[in-house]
Amino acid sequence: MNAARVSYYTADSVKVHDVLSWELLVLAHLNWEITSPTGFDFFDHLSARLPSLHTLRPAFTSVLHRIQRCRLFTYLGFGYR
Indicate the SS3 state at residue 79. Answer: coil
Same domain, 23 and 48: no
pLDDT, one tens digit per residue, over 14-56 is 999 999 999 888 988 888 877 777 777 787 788 888 888 878 8
Number of domains in the chain: 2
pLDDT, one tens digit per residue, over 64-73 is 788 877 776 7
Range of the domain at 50: 39-76
Same domain, 45 and 22: no
Angle (CA) 80 74 81, round 5°:
5
Assigned domain for 81 exists:
no
User: Is residue 19 a contact partner of residue 6, using CB atoms and an 8 Å limit?
Assistant: yes
Pairwise CA distance, residues 8 & 16, whole Å: 9
pTM above 0.85, yes or no: no
Pairwise CA distance, residues 46 & 10, whole Å: 44
Give DSSP secondary structure letters for 55-79: GGHHHHHHHHHHHHHHHHHHHHT--
